[in-house]
Amino acid sequence: MNEVTTADYRRQMWVVVYIHLFLWALCWVLAYIYRNNGKVRGDLPAPATAPTDTAPTTGKAGPNKLGLIHGGAENAERVARMTLILALVATILVNALSGGTRSTSALLWTFMCISVLHILAVALVRHSAVPLTFAAISFILIIIIAGLGFRT
């Protein structure tokens, strides 16, 4: 079955990559804020100029007041970065080999929806099977999309 390649389907594929870029940037900012215990750089205390006689600290950070599970923001940023890379590689591969078609565009939109659920699952769910399931579905979709790029 030959599908028609149009610029609209190619544009839709690049829109998905752009949305992934936005998601990654948002997750990166949240992970940065989470790492600094909810404070941005301007809110952090200034370094002391001279040592004072105070009790030694343990080096442990205080409890984070944000609602994410420990490490969830960093994991969400990592997953968002990986899905951005996968979407970018699939889009470049499909457009370079055969051009974007309706099926590749629809599958890439499906991949984006699964990626958003995957990012939320990694950030909010403690059970390892849930993010692993989303990762397997995402990987299978990207393999299918990239495989469609090789058809003639």
- Calpha distance 128→52 (Å, rounded): 45
What residues contact residue 85 under an 8 Å CB cut-off, 6+ apart? none
| CA–CA distances in Å: residue 148 to residues 12, 80, 83, 86 | 16, 23, 18, 15
pLDDT in the model for residue 149: 85
pLDDT value at position 150?
Answer: 86
Tell me what pLDDT residue 33 has: 85
- For each of the chain's 152 residues, which pLDDT tens digit applies? 556 667 788 889 999 999 999 999 999 998 888 887 766 666 556 555 555 555 554 544 445 454 555 578 888 999 999 999 999 999 999 988 887 888 899 999 999 999 999 999 998 887 888 888 999 999 999 999 999 888 86
Which pLDDT does position 48 carry in this prediction? 58
| 107 closest CA partner among 144, 133, 147 | 144
Q: What integer pLDDT is reported at residue 10 of this predicted model?
A: 87
How far is Cα 10 from Cα 6, in angstroms, rounded to an integer?
Answer: 7
Give the per-residue pLDDT at 52: 53
In DSSP notation, 105-127 reads: HHHHHHHHHHHHHHHHHHHH---
State residue 49's pLDDT score.
Answer: 58
- The closest of 151, 145, 77, 81 to 111, measured between CA atoms, is 145
